[in-house]
């Protein structure tokens, strides 16, 4: 499972970096990821990063695999909620 958490974290970080660069490089709102993906896109990126970080920290912290999956899911759900409120 650690590989799945790692892949989710790397994909989320790449998406975040790409998002920031695209926002900075877009000269109009049409090409901005905020216009194309909006709130749902931000929630996906946040959930990927939180799932990866929560799962890896629980797995390397010595938690049993079932508890690490629950921790990762809880972190992703919290990120989805938080990104929606900010």
* pLDDT for res 73: 97
53 burial type by CB count under 10 A (0-12 exposed, 13-18 middle, 19+ buried): buried
Q: What average pLDDT does the chain have?
A: 92
Domain ranges of the chain: 1-85
Alpha helices in 1-64 (DSSP H): 2-25, 33-36, 38-60
For residues 64 and 77, give the distance between their C-alpha atoms in angstroms, rounded to a whole number: 20
Look at residue 19 and tell me whether its pLDDT is greater than 80.
yes
* pLDDT for res 25: 86
pLDDT tens digits, 73-84: 999 999 999 998
Six-digit token string for 85? 């409120």
Q: The whole model's pTM is what?
A: 0.89
């Amino acid at each position: 499972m650690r590989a799945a958490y790692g892949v989710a974290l790397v994909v989320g970080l790449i998406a975040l970096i790409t998002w920031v660069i695209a926002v900075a490089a877009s000269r109009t709102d049409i090409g901005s990821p905020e216009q194309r993906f909006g709130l749902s896109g931000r929630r996906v990126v946040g959930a990927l990063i939180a799932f990866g970080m929560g799962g890896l920290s629980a797995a390397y912290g010595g938690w049993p695999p079932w508890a690490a999956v629950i921790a990762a899911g809880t972190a992703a759900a919290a990120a989805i909620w938080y990104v929606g409120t900010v």
